[in-house]
Chains A and B, each alone.
Chain A
Amino acid sequence: MTHIDEPADEPIAAAGRYLEYQAIDTGYRAVRWHEKTLYEQSRPGSTNAILPPVEPGIAALVGDVVAALPVAARRARPPEMPELSEPEILRHYIRCSQMTYGYDSGNSMGLGTCTMKYSPRINEQLAASPKVKALHPLQPEDTIQGILEIMYGMRNWLCELGGMDEVTFQPRGGGHGAFTDACMIRAYHHARGDDHRDEIITCAVSHPCNPATASAAGFKVISLYPDEITGELGIDALKAAISDRTAGIMMTAPYDTGVFDSQIAEYARLVHEAGGVVSLDQANFNGVMTRMRAGDLGADMVHFNLHKTFSTPHGSYGPGAGAVAVKKAFRDFLPVPVVEFDGTKYRLNSDLPHTIGKIGTFMGMVPNVVKAYAWVLSMGADGLREASEWAVINNNYLIKKLLEVRGVEISWPNRRKLQEARFSLAKLHDETGVGTTDFNYRLADFGVQTYFESHVPRIVDEPVTPEPTESISKEDVDQFVAAFHHISAEAYSNAEIVKTAPHRSIVHREIHDYENLTQVPFTWRVWKRTHPDG
């Protein structure tokens, strides 16, 4: 890695940004350990627990435990596990955590479409309670009435918020929720003898999981692009896509551009008229929570992300929790079981005539449902509305401040934005050669989470997509914007320092080699195979 000294203050001061630099000079330097994996640190003979010998009476009663296993299941030799003492293991994980940047260590408003909001610790404690942790999914219903009540309670909240009639918590995330929708659309048409309906309509500013899951479910995908002026799909474009082969539409609302498409109700009417199903992706629900109900706009099914809107933690790909809510007409297609209540007792019903079957195990990611339910109850209906309003206000404050930064523009500037907005550094790029990826790496030098650039396809050049949510303070936004001012000034005066960033992080640029994933050592065994010389 090339070391580049920090720029002299003069050009920054000349650009009138010295004060901002002072404001963001947090002294951030990422902690870096030359930390080896536990396997590499292993010292044969080290141990972290010495178990007492099995008492003779018990040993005699149990007999040879290995003999009880089928021959094919027995290992020829013991597993190759690292051998270390307990403090060595603890140190390892503490060091790894020190090299990690996350929501709890700093300003993380950059990750747009992720809705990175604060996860209250008290909800973590509730979910970690033995009353939740010690439950077994195969316990008789009579013994898990409490957790079923929580599931049913959360179901009721989501039905109310989405204008829907039934909910499943089985999907493990947003994409999984979209896949559940696609499978139900397929099952719905099959049940009606409409198997010729093989096209799903979606759009380029919806989450990529919408077309991807439709495709995974066997549909052809027709993508619409937003109008250059309005940012909406438009009736004419939709009509060009609709035919007797239309199975449905799967779209995100609001879009990742922060634009809410004002014609969704009309889209739903047209798709219904053609015999299709309407699925709304509500991963961006934070921008409209309590102020818009998908069911009222004509949606037949929606998915919510408990790990975004409803505060349960996420990042590093889990544990997420998607929740799919449907109108009555689609209840029989849901994955099983669903939680029911007869007025006195909760039960699990697996007897739905057209169910698509299992989309995940048991009831879903139960601890996340507990956390989300606790959050919803602590907020109340008014609190949810206020959270959504603050998320939108924070985002619009961010928009106003970021547009004061030289070289920063915004897509669809004439449209009001809700939970997030897609900015563009195309002007900065044209004028300085510094693109959004360079800019983003430099941002990491200031102890600020890098931002999300864009989903694919990239229809905005050099994109920037932050999302503040309701959890951040005005000071957080100001710090983020100050960093932008500083980096922009650098781009215009000393572009090289931006192009060679980051300079204070534990690693230099990530090298993604998606074409050689088979060579990436995800396990110790693969590492040894691919690195025979160590």
Chain B
Amino acid sequence: MVDRKSGAEAARQSVAAPTGPGGGAPARSGGAPGRRQAEDTAPARRSSGAPGRRRIGLIVNPLAGIGGRVGLKGSDGVETVARAFALGAVPMAGARAEDTLRALAGRVVAEAVADARRGHSSLIELATYPGEMGADVARVAGFEPVVLGSIEAGATTGADTRRAAEALLAWGAELIVFAGGDGTARDIFAAVGGSVAVIGIPAGVKIHSGVFAVNPRRAAELVAEFMAGRAGLEDREVMDIDEDLFRAGTVAARLFGYMRMPYARALVQGAKAGNPGGPSTLRDVAFGVLDEIDRDPGAYWILGPGTTVKAVAVELGIEKTLLGVDLLHRGRLVAADVNESQLLAFLARKPESVRARLVVTVIGGQGYLFGRGNQQLSPAVIRAVGKEGLVVAATLDKLHALGGPLLVDTGDAECDAYLSGHIKVITGEADRVIWRVTA
């Protein structure tokens, strides 16, 4: 729960501290397209917030997911949105964000009651963009947000999302909560990169990125955990697929980078239980992989993409590409950012007596082992390495957060079947788990 001291402090401040001059007035939920709507309620940057308050930013992509129910497999681009509206689509992202904010308000009330029984908005200072991009739902849920920027009501685009993210960062948001899909995540990533924590409320058609909570209520819990200082931060994948290819039946997910997302550590256990040591860290996992490398030093080691595998490279003292596949031999980087054919050429050239090993991790929140973001590691590469050459590494928290099996979708049913079953995953220097893999 909220740190008791800071909670009480925040509650004491709540009477005196304004939450923004625009607070209280209901916003217009829409305007004529083409007219720039601005509420002009707050300065772009405030020198300091009320002590004890946490600055949370909110972005709603009002058009996220609009193509889903009408079968368009995505909502990216003005033309797609227009088609969706023509097919009778109704915006849903605002309602999803409202679910999160209402649940969050409930959590904050419960926590604040224990200290001071003050209004729920006392602990959060919420800033957002006007109207349908956040201000409307924030007010409906009982918050009094600081409203930044301006939009063209009814005609927002990715550029608005990017501007909103930049504005929230400038305002001093510690966390940006956004309702949208992969496209929205990409826009926010383009604007702020990994410089601020994010939590996605899943509202899009495509949810391949790892930065989304399972549902709006869980998103609220994550925000509360983050506020209470109980959530760790983890690099999560920002991914998107080519919608045109997807509509044609092909999934080609590309990894764009990483944003930092809070994840809930196990709640404090009862007296009998207890691993007060906390969650496993990337460094623990890296040491576990190093142990495997030490046991097979002569092998060609193919290092897949991701921060988990990069952590191994850091411990080895080599420069690894974050998003690419690199090749390691006897502690030296042989090739960086290789594609499938280059990999196959390497594997064909190597002496038969030398094994090839492949280190991969799992996409957070999704569970994909192959087929998303690492298409270089094709069925042919996987077969050349063999299941016995595979080294899978992930933190235990990442696995637990999946709540299900690891997934493979290589585009080759035979290869998927070959990979299915149970696999050993390195979760720490001396810890492994056996996890189920399905296609």
Contact = CB atoms under 8 A, between A and B. Distances in A.
Contact of A515 (B276, B421, B435): B276
B113 A2 contact: yes
A234 B422 CA distance: 10
B266 A225 contact: no
B430 A236 contact: no
Interface string A302-328: 000000000000000000000000000
A208 interface: yes
Contacts of B432: 199, 220-223, 241
Nearest to A203: B434
A154 to B, nearest CB: 26
B389 to A, nearest CB: 14
B113 A496 contact: yes
Contacts of A508: 114
A459 B434 CA distance: 14
B344 interface: no
Interface stretch (B40-48, B188-196, B267-275, B355-363): B267-275
B114 A430 contact: no
Contact of A433 (B103, B268, B278, B436): B103
A73 to B, nearest CB: 36
A453 interface: yes
A456 B217 contact: no
Interface range on chain A (Cβ under 8 Å from partner) = 35 or more
B330 interface: no
Interface in A485-503: 495-496, 499-500
Interface range on chain B (Cβ under 8 Å from partner) = 35 or more
Given A437-B267, A499-B113, A237 B436 contact: yes
A496 B110 contact: yes
Contacts, number: 99
B400 interface: yes
A240 B110 contact: no
B36 interface: no
B73 interface: no
A416 interface: no
A240 B266 contact: no
A211 B423 CA distance: 19
Nearest to B435: A225
A220 B434 CA distance: 13
Most chain-A CB neighbours within 10 Å: which of B113, B267, B396, B422? Answer: B422
A211 B396 CA distance: 14
Contact of B106 (A114, A199, A433, A517): A433
B424 interface: yes
A75 interface: no
A219 B430 contact: yes
21 contacts: A2-B114, A2-B115, A113-B272, A208-B273, A208-B275, A215-B430, A219-B430, A223-B433, A234-B422, A237-B422, A240-B423, A240-B434, A241-B434, A430-B217, A453-B269, A455-B272, A455-B273, A458-B267, A500-B113, A514-B274, A514-B276
Interface of B: 4, 103, 106-107, 109-110, 113-115, 117, 217, 266-270, 272-276, 278, 396, 400, 421-424, 430-436
